[in-house]
Amino acid sequence: MSNFLRKKAKILFVCFFVLLTCTACSSPRGKDGKTKVDQIISNEEFKVKRSDVSIENMRDAKLEKEYKKLDKDDEITIKPTTFKQAWSSGWFDGLIVWPLATLINKVSAATDAGIGIIVTTVILQVVLFAFTAKSQMSNQKMQEIQPEIQKIQNKYKGKTDQQSQMRMYQETQALYQKYDIHPFGTMLVTFIQLPIMMGMYYATMRASSVIYGSFLGMKLFNTPMYAIRHLMVGSIVVYILMVVCQLVSMMLPQWQKKWQDKKDHVKKHSYREENQTANAMNMYMYAMCIMFAFIYVSWPLAMSFYWMVTSIIRIIQQLVLHKHMNANKK
């Protein structure tokens, strides 16, 4: 039991370290809400008006002084961002943010910013799935058996003695073995997706195609909160669709478990207990969805596109994995 907890603590520590590293990056936007001029990632040289960018807290203090002397209508030349320049800002910028922003810019150059984000998201999810297919299958199973795990936890609720805790651990492990689940393997998906999500956040904040581009008339650099304040219907619809898709992707494993139990004519021996467990799980999912909605309302609309497409892909993956798992049972 102690070894189990030590391993879990190590993994949580690594995840926490990665989260701190990712979120330690300075904000790409200045106090005026505009992107800092030295934070813009571009694939080609172009010019912007001094009034369209922020020049505060630049890395090059000498250049910052020169830009401050410019008039609002004077132009600043933005040069292509190289990997070497991105790497000089840190491994996160070099290995994650710069490649994502560059890919978005390249696709956007042939289409538009919205398509650039959608294509980049699809490529990301396909690559991630190729490396984490087994972990995602374990994660799918883990979500489907959450009511059973909750039932075990409720069984030993309030029992703090070592013997009861050991029994709860053994019953939980037996459940994992029954469904061939590897608990720590499921953390791999979150571990990988966390820096990717933060990378996309910074990439959409810094990619020139997103900052100065649009999709179906929607400015992707604006936030859903800005869209709500100015009654921008298209942007508000995208934000709502993102929240709905996120909720469906989170709830789908539970719905699939219920549908499969009905199909297999599984009898409910303790309806009241299972109903309480299901309600608790639903409340947790709703709370998570509200938290995501609260976070994304102040992030660029581009991130709502990213998360909406990601959620749709996850829904498709969950349906395919569920079908595959049940086919193997037969």
**What pLDDT, on a 0 to 100 scale, did the predictor assign at position 187?**
62
238 with 295, same domain: the answer is: yes
- In the numeric block, which tokens belong to residue 52? 């369209």
Amino acid identity of residue 112, one-letter, is: D
138 with 250, same domain: the answer is: yes
Q: Which of 289, 129, 123 is nearest to 200 (CA)?
A: 123
247 with 115, same domain: the answer is: yes
Domain boundary among 180, 204, 238: 180
What is the Cα–Cα distance from 265 to 252, expressed in whole angstroms? 20
174 lies in which domain range? 146-180
What is the Cα–Cα distance from 104 to 116, expressed in whole angstroms? 5
Identify the three-state secondary structure at position 41. strand
What is the Cα–Cα distance from 201 to 217, expressed in whole angstroms? 21
Q: What share of the chain is helix, strand, coil (3-state, %, to 5)?
A: 75, 5, 20
108 with 194, same domain: the answer is: yes
- In the numeric block, which tokens belong to residue 27? 């904000």
7 with 152, same domain: the answer is: no
Going residue by residue through the chain, which has 330 residues, state the pLDDT in tens, using 9 for 90 and above.
434 444 444 454 455 445 545 544 567 877 777 888 888 999 998 888 888 888 887 887 888 888 888 888 888 888 999 999 899 888 888 989 999 999 999 999 988 888 999 999 999 888 887 777 666 666 666 766 777 777 887 777 777 788 888 888 888 888 877 777 766 655 666 667 778 888 888 998 899 999 888 888 888 888 889 888 988 998 999 999 998 998 888 888 777 767 766 665 555 544 444 455 555 556 766 777 788 788 888 888 888 888 899 889 888 887 877 776 666 555
Domain boundary among 156, 180, 204: 180
169 with 99, same domain: the answer is: no
Cβ neighbours of residue 220 closer than 8 Å, sequence gap 6 or more: 113, 114, 117, 204, 210, 213, 214, 300, 301, 302, 305
Q: Are 113 and 120 in contact (CB under 8 A)?
A: no
What is the Cα–Cα distance from 68 to 258, expressed in whole angstroms? 62
Helices of type H across 212-270: 224-229, 233-263
Cβ neighbours of residue 261 closer than 8 Å, sequence gap 6 or more: none
**What pLDDT, on a 0 to 100 scale, did the predictor assign at position 59?**
80
The total of structural domains in the chain comes to 2
311 with 257, same domain: the answer is: yes
**What pLDDT, on a 0 to 100 scale, did the predictor assign at position 189?**
64
**What pLDDT, on a 0 to 100 scale, did the predictor assign at position 8?**
47
235 with 111, same domain: the answer is: yes
205 with 154, same domain: the answer is: no
Q: For the residues of 86-128, what is the DSSP string, one character each? A: HHTT-HHIIIIIHHHHHHHHHHHHHS-HHHHHHHHHHHHHHHH
Global pTM value? 0.73
Domain boundary among 125, 158, 180: 180
Cβ neighbours of residue 277 closer than 8 Å, sequence gap 6 or more: 147, 150, 151, 154
Q: What are phi and psi of 113, to 5 degrees?
A: -60, -40
Helices 2-23 and 183-206, packing angle to 10 deg: 0
46 with 191, same domain: the answer is: yes
Q: Are 31 and 193 in contact (CB under 8 A)?
A: no
229 with 168, same domain: the answer is: no
Q: Are 296 and 242 in contact (CB under 8 A)?
A: yes
110 with 135, same domain: the answer is: yes
